[in-house]
Amino acid sequence: MVIEPIIKGVVARSAHPYGCQALVQQHIQFVKNAEQIKNGPKRVLILGASSGFGLAARIALAFGGSEADTIGVSFERGPSEKGVGTAGWYNNVFFKQEAEKEGRIAVNIIGDAFAQETRDQVIEAIETYFEGEVDLIIYSLATGIRPNPNTGENWVSSIKPIGNSVTGATVLLDNDLWVETTVEAATDDEIESTIKVMGGSDWESWVDTLINSESIAQGCQTIAFSYIGSEANYPIYRDGTLGWAKVDLHQASHSLNLKLANFNGSAYATVCKALVTKASVYIPAFTPYIIALYQAMKEEGNHEGCIEQMQRLFSSKFNQAQPPVDAERLIRMDEWELKPSVQERVYEIMQNMNQENFKQLGDYQGYKQAFMQLNGFDIEGVDYQQDIDFETLTSLKP
Ligand code: NAI
């Protein structure tokens, strides 16, 4: 069979296995040639390892100088009668293949990170492969739903503004249509649920679980990823439900920092740059900002993707006993995004951008290409006409 891209709105319904393989390999090559990570962690657990920042962190730490062994947790689907499977599934498969070629341990645990069963599997894997202890825990889950451990009912996140509604545009990736939307303000329940899903409490509960199972090494650190943004997107992000959830995450970093101090370790929230990922394309009314940002940063020559962000984080900031932090103890990887020259240009583009000209003024082409590449499409050197055997795909194990 020939695998074609299938996109519905902002969701990809197919993925190209060998495109995913090519992208993983390209990113490995990138980190090998980049500034190397010195004295990095050797035994790393990544929650949310199959795409976006989690996958990039895994590649950086395994191949960018630290030579880390990794256990990755993700929620992905393999090939079945329903389809070819998700990009993250193949990222897991091919990351593991490449890591094992270089003698590194790479364990993939596919399951719901909120389930006790998954936690038990992780503890067992740490026992089996990491001599019982982990040096770094990366929390990079992005999801819209989390079961309440006390009631079993689900908290469902709502990406909404708080107080006032916000009007903006979302560009649908299947037909390149710019759609004006008004996002109504969140209710108190929606705010609360979003904080439960995307805030710091699950991160904290993971670290508590690993403390209780005595899986924390001396000097163990943990990081989770955050976003703040600029005035151009405060109404939908920082001042909305997601922003409030991120404040909760920042607070969790302080309490985890105290807990890990007992192991001479530490915890940080790391604020990253806005990037196209499976998760971020869901944020309503966010596309104009991100395509203006890509345009502005590419013009300035300081655009980065997830892989560049993660290699720079671990080689130049997180490699110090005291990583540089801001007044709120946040590690800032968004410093180039927030440069006044970049933000002035973003503002200028956004002022003039509309449904007629967004492809000319903003970097919509780069945005769409990044989205296609996340799913294994539009990658140079991949033969998209090749006949792919379903049996071969089912034999690929993550
Ligand atoms: P992503 O969608 O690319 O990756 C999410 C990961 O979480 C995947 O590996 C997925 O399999 C896993 N996952 C989701 N639900 C799960 C579950 N129930 N059990 C196990 N695994 C599960 O997302 P992205 O964008 O890399 O987000 C990661 C973090 O980075 C989030 O906290 C996000 O807010 C943050 N961030 C993202 C930015 C962006 O622009 N994309 C910017 C700054 C921070």
Q: Is 330 annotated as a binding residue?
A: no
Residue 1 lies in a domain: no
pLDDT at 38: 96
Could you identify the atom of ligand 1 that is nearest to the CA of residue 72? 9
- Residue 353: beta bridge partners? none
pLDDT at 47: 98
**Residues near ligand 1 (Cβ within 6 A):** 48-54, 73-76, 88, 112-114, 140-143, 225-227, 272, 274-275, 277-280
Quick check: helix, strand or coil at residue 55?
helix
For 81, other C-beta atoms within 10 Å of its C-beta total 5
pLDDT at 347: 97
Residue 350 lies in a domain: no
pLDDT at 10: 87
- Per-residue DSSP letters for 12-32? E----HHHHHHHHHHHHHHHH
pLDDT at 9: 86
State the distance from the centre of ligand 1 to the C-alpha of 58, rounded, in angstroms. 13
Q: Residue 226 sits in which domain range?
A: 7-157+189-284+303-335+385-394
Could you identify the atom of ligand 1 that is nearest to the CA of residue 272? 43
Q: Ligand 1: which of 225, 249, 271, 276 to mutate, judged by most atoms within 8 Å of the beta carbon?
A: 225
pLDDT at 55: 98
- Report how many domains make up the chain: 1
Instruction: Decide if 294 is catalytic.
Output: no
Angle at 62 (CA atoms; ends 322, 48), nearest 5 degrees? 80
pLDDT at 79: 96
d(CA 361, CA 132): 53
**Which residues of the chain carry a pLDDT beneath 70?**
none
State the distance from the centre of ligand 1 to the C-alpha of 153, rounded, in angstroms. 22
Residue 184 lies in a domain: no
Residue 170 lies in a domain: no
Q: Where are the beta strands (DSSP E) in the chain?
A: 7-8, 11-12, 43-47, 69-74, 106-110, 134-139, 145-147, 154-156, 166-172, 177-183, 216-226, 266-271, 331-332
pLDDT at 284: 86
Residue 204 lies in a domain: yes
Residue 363 lies in a domain: no
State the distance from the centre of ligand 1 to the C-alpha of 15, rounded, in angstroms. 18
pLDDT at 319: 86
pLDDT at 97: 98
Q: For 118, how many CA atoms within 13 A lie in the half-sphere containing its CB?
A: 18
pLDDT at 320: 84
Report the CATH number that the domain containing residue 116 is assigned in CATH. 3.40.50.720
Q: Is 234 annotated as a binding residue?
A: no
Q: Is 53 annotated as a binding residue?
A: yes
State the distance from the centre of ligand 1 to the C-alpha of 228, rounded, in angstroms. 16
Could you identify the atom of ligand 1 that is nearest to the CA of residue 53? 26
pLDDT at 60: 98
Q: What is the DSSP letter of 142?
A: -
Residue 146 lies in a domain: yes
Per annotation, catalytic residue among 18, 90, 139, 237: 237
Residue 85 lies in a domain: yes
